[in-house]
């Protein structure tokens, strides 16, 4: 009974989200929602290796690879972004293959460092390789509205696409976590040796997790880049926007869980925008000081993230359901 | 003689310490083989070598004639070597999920894995605790999770590392038949135990290790009357040992 | 030919500073077993302190070590006490989060207080060079190199010959010993963090006469220090020193012959190759490498 109620509530909520662009014509509201969806998707994708306890601070690498691939194909060769999405996903996964060497060889902290270095190196390459990337000037997506060009005159199409991406990645994350890969990753996170002794190829599990994560990040990036019309090394490979922000959302929401990234992105994205654009105009950098303080608070007081505060309550409800069903 | 596992000249040094040196023995298919020895004798290290968590310095390990010496742990597990850990190492997830983890090697969907894991929990009489977190269980129960997880890999050879240690007499009496039951289901067992009585009651043959060396091998009676074994346990020097 | 020698010498001298910073990290990591993601920010803070002392009081950077080093030692002690100590028994990831948070806070407080501008110290000898066999050697780099050599030797002597130093080394060698030390170990942690911080600070001060400071200047130093420690081997002073020089030379050669923009890409490449072919570190024995995952 309760379970059904929950499902109905979720369905109504989704319908409500679908209706938002019909009622809110304010570009600001629409933009905020779209941004939240993008960050839910990015954070949920970032979170997949975290099922296996691996913490990346270099996902901007995959973002940049995906975004640049599609943008270069489109602007330089006139290839539709819909092919660009496939290519971008693929190139981001190639980046994932490279990062998988430190991923499987190094324990947590050193993998994290390698991931930072990886993204930084790609950023430098993007600045340096002017013939391909236009260097630090960046690439502008020309404004030629058409479905095929993934360019629109209103914000609504991107609102729906971002919502779709968010739902897709949450769904995939949920599916991965409840499949053998998810169990293997969680076992590896808890005790790598015990997992290996139980027949799990932990290196392969970590690798697969990173493949999903890098590919999805690259794919999301293509949409994000076309939403923004412009990309340059400083933003596409931005430590702040696409490495730290998803990680921050994930940790504060609850790393390695399905719903943590969602909660984190919903709370942190508007907060981040607020700090950046309202306080940010008064004082640049304040948002990261606030993030830093929040992070220290989480580490000291709620190591499981916000989701760990909500989960017990939710579980109680659920077990209440099953006993109700027994009756 | 049908040997399941053949270990030859197996050696492992930690710096200057010979934790396992030149150990050779075989495990016969279908037997319960005990492994005893004082603390620090190298028993757990031997298990780590057989399961592949440690690389050996020298020697060979063969399962059904196939060489495992250079294979990674997960391959050895797939070939039929299962193990438990002396210090229990449950994953941070429910009891059922713990057992599901290795079950995925044989069943692809999580529904099948769940059913199979539940069957195994029934077998070790842990089904009532399936949804509990291991941290909230007693040591005896957590040791059963270890056994259940190892069984879920469908081992041919099961290495049990002190699964009775730390349990009270009632719990020992409850867990002991379990080992026989597992053997009767077709799994060969090599097990480390400190409790002499339990060991003698259940094993057909016994290996004795001391300071990394295999010092005796035989039926429980033969071994208990062996002079070298007695000195190893009593700590006295005896000529010729 | 002339150029390559010139480039190598200049890289070698810079490498001395990298060694200094990395040894600070090595000590903190070896003793406290925390991966300090804010390590480069210690360098940054020290550089700003040097800059201000010069800006407000006209103090020479080398003289300012007398103030900067004790202040930064204290800074390290405080960080260990209020940030690291409370989470000592948390998981490795929690420790990363905490030090990442610290690095974010320090970077952005620097941005708020000092703005994003590049700041430099003007000193008469900043551009000074001396010629030796046809090779020009920058004087502040030469000073930096010898100061690094001297302070590393002093640390080495301290660790080898004093009771406290031996205790620190014992913890680095075998961390289970730390548990046996009880209350005293917390004091040793504070000390190690303080010394580690002071070493990176010294690196920062020595850099000031010939380079500039800005809020994110520390990020590459964190990366460099970790690469050096991994290459040199945990707990190995000599290895770290050599690896520091090595990275300095690689940076200079790469920056000259490949592309200045890609010099960091080059040592990251070396880092990856090194862990693939020689996981125990190139120079050192790699004590504690198990904790890095470099088994
Ligand atoms: N990873 C290791 N590194 C160094 N020494 C070890 C390691 N594992 C075990 N040892 C040492 O090897 C010896 C044998 O240990 P172990 O195999 O655990 O003995 P047992 O299980 O028979 O009590 C002990 O002296 C122990 O300290
Ligand atoms: Mg043992």
Please name the member of A53, A55, A292 whose beta carbon is closest to the beta carbon of C105.
Answer: A292
Q: d(Cα A156, Cα A148) in Å, to the nearest integer?
A: 16
Q: d(Cα C212, Cα A246) in Å, to the nearest integer?
A: 31
- pLDDT reported for residue A325: 35
Query: Helix (H, G, I), strand (E, B), or coil: what is residue A260?
Result: helix
Q: Which of B10, B14, B163 to mutate to test the pocket of ligand 1 (most atoms within 8 A of CB)?
A: B14
Interface partners of chain B (CB pairs < 8 Å, 3 or more) are A
In short, whether B19's Cβ falls inside 6 Å of ligand 1 is yes
State the average pLDDT for chain B: 88
- pLDDT reported for residue B180: 87
State the average pLDDT for chain A: 87
- pLDDT reported for residue C295: 34
More reliable by pLDDT, A57 or B165: A57
- The residue of C38, C95, C97 whose CB has the most chain A CBs within 10 angstroms, and thus the best one to mutate to test that interface, is C97
- pLDDT reported for residue C275: 64
More reliable by pLDDT, A96 or B39: A96
Q: Which residues of A touch C (CB under 8 A)?
A: 53, 55, 57, 101-102, 105-114, 116-118, 120-121, 124-125, 127-128, 239, 244, 251, 255, 283-289, 291-293, 295-296, 298-300, 303
Q: Which residues of C touch A53 (CB under 8 A)?
A: 93
- The residue of B104, B117, B120, B132 whose CB has the most chain A CBs within 10 angstroms, and thus the best one to mutate to test that interface, is B104
- pLDDT reported for residue C202: 95
- pLDDT reported for residue A239: 79
Q: Examine the pLDDT at B116 and tell me if it is beyond 60.
A: yes
- Nearest-CA residue for ligand 1 atom 20 is B40
Q: Examine the pLDDT at C286 and tell me if it is beyond 60.
A: no
Distance of CA C29 from the midpoint of ligand 1 (Å): 26
Q: Examine the pLDDT at C183 and tell me if it is beyond 80.
A: no
Percentage of residues in chain B having pLDDT higher than 90 = 57
| Residue B169, both tokens | 């007499």
- pLDDT reported for residue C291: 46
More reliable by pLDDT, A142 or C263: A142
Contacts of residue C116, Cβ cutoff 8 Å, sequence gap at least 6: A284, C214, C215
Mean pLDDT of the C68-93 span = 92
- pLDDT reported for residue C276: 61
Domain ranges within chain A, ordered by starting residue: 14-326
Please name the member of B52, B78, B89 whose beta carbon is closest to the beta carbon of A194.
Answer: B89
Give the model confidence (pLDDT) of C36-50 as tens digits. 899 999 999 999 999
| Residue C242, both tokens | 């050599």
Query: Helix (H, G, I), strand (E, B), or coil: what is residue B218?
Result: strand
Q: Examine the pLDDT at B147 and tell me if it is beyond 50.
A: yes
Q: Examine the pLDDT at C293 and tell me if it is beyond 70.
A: no
DSSP code, position A259: S
Interface partners of chain C (CB pairs < 8 Å, 3 or more) are A
Mean pLDDT of the C242-251 span = 90
- pLDDT reported for residue B1: 57
Instruction: Give residue C283's pLDDT band: very low, low, confident or very high (50, 70, 90).
Output: low
Mean pLDDT of the B230-238 span = 62
Burial of C58 (0-12, 13-18, 19+ CB in 10 A): exposed
3-state SS, one letter per residue, for C7-71: HHHHHHHHHHHHHHHHHHHHHHHHHHCCCCCCHHHHHHHHHHHHHHHHHHHCCCHHHHHHHHHHH
Alpha-helical (H) ranges within chain B are 43-51, 73-79, 95-103, 110-123, 139-152, 169-184, 196-202, 220-224, 227-234
Contact, A173 vs A52, CB < 8 A? no
Ligand nearest to the CA of C174: 1
What does each of the 327 residues of chain A score in pLDDT, given as a tens digit? 567 787 888 888 888 888 788 787 778 888 999 999 999 999 999 999 999 999 899 999 999 999 999 999 999 998 999 999 999 999 999 999 999 988 887 776 778 888 988 898 898 888 888 888 888 888 888 888 877 777 887 888 899 999 999 999 999 999 999 999 999 999 999 999 999 999 999 999 999 999 999 999 999 999 999 998 888 888 888 877 888 899 999 999 999 899 999 999 999 999 988 887 777 666 778 888 888 999 999 999 998 899 988 877 766 655 544 433 333
How close is the nearest chain B Cα to the Cα of A137, in Å? 48
Asked whether the beta carbons of residue B150 and residue A179 sit closer than 8 angstroms, the reply is no
How close is the nearest chain A Cα to the Cα of C184, in Å? 24
In short, whether B42's Cβ falls inside 6 Å of ligand 1 is yes
Please name the member of A108, A251, A292 whose beta carbon is closest to the beta carbon of C92.
Answer: A108
- pLDDT reported for residue C32: 87
DSSP code per residue over A72-99: HHHHHH---HHHHHHHHHHHHHHHHHHH
Domains of chain C (ranges, CATH numbers): 2-116+138-289 (1.10.3470)
- pLDDT reported for residue A317: 56
What pTM, to 2 d.p., does this model score?
0.89
Q: d(Cα C112, Cα C123) in Å, to the nearest integer?
A: 26
Q: Which residues of A touch C87 (CB under 8 A)?
A: 299-300
């Amino acid at each position: 009974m309760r379970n059904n109620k929950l499902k109905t509530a979720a369905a109504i909520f989704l319908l409500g989200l679908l209706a938002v662009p019909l009622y809110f014509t304010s570009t600001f509201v629409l933009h905020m929602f779209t941004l939240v969806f993008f960050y839910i998707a990015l954070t949920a994708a970032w979170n997949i290796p975290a099922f296996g306890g691996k913490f990346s601070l270099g996902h901007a690498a995959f973002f940049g690879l995906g975004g640049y691939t599609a943008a270069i194909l489109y602007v330089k060769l006139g290839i539709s972004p819909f092919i660009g999405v496939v290519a971008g996903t693929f190139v981001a996964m190639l980046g994932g293959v490279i990062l998988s060497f430190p991923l499987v060889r190094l324990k947590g902290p050193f993998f994290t460092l390698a991931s930072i270095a990886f993204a930084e190196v790609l950023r430098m390459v993007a600045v340096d390789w002017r013939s391909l990337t236009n260097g630090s000037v960046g690439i502008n997506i020309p404004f030629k509205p058409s479905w095929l060009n993934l360019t629109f005159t209103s914000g609504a199409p991107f609102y729906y696409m971002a919502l779709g991406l968010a739902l897709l990645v949450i769904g995939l994350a949920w599916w991965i976590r409840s499949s053998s890969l998810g169990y293997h990753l969680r076992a590896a996170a808890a005790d790598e040796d015990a997992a290996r002794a139980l027949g799990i190829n932990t290196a392969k599990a970590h690798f697969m997790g990173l493949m999903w994560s890098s590919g999805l990040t690259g794919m999301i990036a293509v949409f994000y880049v076309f939403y923004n019309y412009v990309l340059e090394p400083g933003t596409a490979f931005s430590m702040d926007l696409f490495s730290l922000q998803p990680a921050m959302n994930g940790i504060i929401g609850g790393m390695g869980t399905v719903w943590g990234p969602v909660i984190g992105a919903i709370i942190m994205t508007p907060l981040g925008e607020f700090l950046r654009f309202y306080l940010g105009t008064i004082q640049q950098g304040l948002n990261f000081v606030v993030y830093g303080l929040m992070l220290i608070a989480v580490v000291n007081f709620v190591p499981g993230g916000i989701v760990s505060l909500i989960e017990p309550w939710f579980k109680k409800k659920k077990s209440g359901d099953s006993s109700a069903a027994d009756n | 003689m049908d040997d399941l596992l053949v270990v030859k000249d197996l050696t492992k040094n930690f710096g200057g310490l010979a934790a396992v040196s030149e150990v050779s023995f075989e495990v016969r298919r279908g037997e319960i083989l005990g492994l005893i020895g004082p603390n620090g004798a190298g028993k757990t290290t031997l298990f780590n070598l057989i399961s592949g968590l440690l690389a050996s310095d020298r020697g060979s390990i063969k399962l059904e004639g196939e060489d495992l010496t250079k294979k990674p742990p997960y391959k050895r597990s797939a070939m039929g070597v299962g193990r438990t850990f002396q210090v229990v190492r449950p994953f941070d997830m429910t009891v059922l999920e713990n057992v599901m983890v290795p079950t995925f090697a044989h069943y692809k969907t999580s529904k099948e894995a769940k059913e199979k894991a539940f069957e195994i929990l029934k077998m070790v009489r842990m089904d009532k605790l399936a949804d509990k977190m291991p941290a909230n269980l007693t040591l005896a129960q957590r040791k059963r999770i270890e056994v259940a997880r190892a069984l879920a890999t469908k081992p041919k050879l099961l290495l049990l590392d002190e699964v009775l240690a730390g349990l009270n007499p009632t719990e020992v009496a409850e867990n002991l038949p379990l080992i026989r039951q597992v053997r009767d289901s077709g799994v060969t067992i090599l097990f480390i135990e400190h409790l002499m009585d339990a060991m003698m009651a259940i094993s057909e043959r016994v290996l004795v290790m001391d300071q990394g060396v295999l010092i005796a091998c035989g039926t429980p009676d033969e071994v208990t009357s062996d002079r070298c074994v007695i000195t190893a346990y009593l700590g006295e020097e005896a000529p010729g040992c | 030919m002339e150029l390559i020698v010139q480039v190598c010498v200049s890289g070698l001298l810079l490498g001395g500073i990298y060694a200094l910073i990395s040894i600070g990290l090595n000590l903190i990591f070896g003793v406290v077993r925390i991966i300090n993601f804010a390590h480069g920010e210690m360098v940054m803070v020290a550089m700003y302190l040097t800059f201000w002392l010069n800006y407000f009081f006209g103090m020479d950077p080398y003289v300012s070590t007398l103030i900067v080093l004790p202040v930064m030692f204290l800074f390290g002690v405080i960080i260990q006490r209020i940030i690291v100590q409370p989470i000592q028994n948390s998981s490795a990831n929690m420790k990363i989060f905490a030090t990442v948070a610290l690095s974010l806070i320090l970077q952005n407080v620097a941005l708020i207080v000092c703005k994003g501008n590049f700041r430099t110290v003007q000193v008469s000898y900043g551009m000074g060079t001396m010629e030796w066999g046809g090779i020009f050697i920058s004087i502040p780099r030469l000073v930096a190199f010898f100061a690094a050599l001297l302070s590393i030797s002093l640390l080495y002597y301290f660790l080898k010959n004093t009771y406290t130093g031996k205790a620190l080394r014992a913890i680095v060698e075998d961390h289970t010993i730390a548990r046996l030390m009880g209350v005293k170990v917390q004091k040793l942690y504070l000390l190690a963090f303080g010394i580690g911080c002071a070493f990176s600070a010294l690196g920062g001060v020595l850099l000031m006469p010939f380079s500039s400071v800005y809020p994110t200047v520390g990020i590459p130093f964190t990366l460099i220090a970790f690469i050096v420690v991994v290459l040199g081997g945990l707990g190995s002073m000599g290895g770290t020193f050599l690896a520091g020089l090595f990275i300095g030379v690689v940076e200079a050669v790469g920056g000259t012959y490949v592309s200045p923009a890609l010099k960091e890409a080059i040592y990251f490449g070396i880092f990856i190759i090194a862990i693939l072919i020689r996981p125990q570190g190139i120079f050192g024995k790699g004590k504690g490498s198990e904790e890095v995952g470099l088994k």
